[in-house]
Amino acid sequence: MALNQGNQGQTGKQVGQNLTASFGEYADTLVTELMPRYYEQAYRGQTYFNSITNAAVTAYSGASGGTPLLGVWNPANSGKNLIIIHAMVSVYTAASAAGTCAFRLYAGVTAAITGTLVSPVSSLTFTSTGGGSVARASQNAANSSSTALTYINTIGSYYWATAAGAVMTNPLLYDCAGSLIIPPGSMIGLGGSVALTSATYDAFILWSEAFI
């Protein structure tokens, strides 16, 4: 059995050398990222997104056959897991009547979806052609035949009132960082709890795909 051996602390900065690994104070191997955090998956063509702009919310609670702002479905025979990286919502058009809309993620095992579906877009080529992603996506369309999903979390809320003039000025960005996995036969939906009068939104879900 090989041992992981090295020296505590930094041993050198020169490139092109065969160096001994550096350890921390608890025998942990010290590492650093040469490339940005998500570079490798994106460059290998394994990262995709589903996005929409200027969309009016249909109130969504993860119910069967519901209409999320964005949905991502991993078919049962895909052979891959979808590893969620980011989810985002931002206001496009302000509401014209007072109210609060909570933007929530729901996920779970689902029956095959038969609604209007689109192909996800590659974050490398920025096209949906070529059959790269195993997933199917929905964009503010009813997920017909879908099973009721489990509430996961709320990534943020948009509040508007005439007196206060309150708005969500910055995008709501949820850095999931791979902590949610959508296995084959499951889906994730991002939706708003209330359809505020006149309000429209931009939204985005980013994920990587890996063989099981």
Residues 18 and 113 in one domain: no
What is the tens place of the pLDDT at every residue in 142-184? 999 999 999 999 999 998 887 655 555 678 999 999 999 999 9
Alpha helices in the chain (DSSP H): 39-43
DSSP SS3 for 176: strand
**Residues 165, 91: one domain?**
yes
Q: What is the CATH number of the domain that holds 162?
A: 2.60.120
Q: What is the pLDDT of residues 124-151, one digit of tens each?
A: 999 997 668 999 999 999 999 999 999 9
Are both 18 and 49 inside the same structural domain? no
The residue segments making up the domain with residue 127 are 39-211
Task: State the CB neighbour count (10 A cutoff) for residue 158.
Answer: 24
188: nearest Cα among 150, 157, 144, 158: 150
CA distance 75 to 54: 28
* Same-domain pairing of 117 and 189: yes
Tell me: do 23 and 45 sit in the same domain: no
Total residue count of the chain as it appears in this document: 212
Whether residues 105 and 1 share a domain: the answer is no
Residue 107 and residue 13 share a domain: no
pLDDT in tens, 70-121: 999 999 999 999 999 999 999 999 898 889 999 999 999 999 999 999 999 9
How many Å apart are CA 193 and CA 103, to the nearest integer? Answer: 6
Examine the domain organization and report whether 27 and 127 are in the same domain. no
Do residue 45 and residue 22 come from a single domain? no
How many domains is the chain partitioned into structurally?
2
* Cα gap 34→40, rounded to integer Å: 10
Contact 98, 166 (CB under 8 A): no
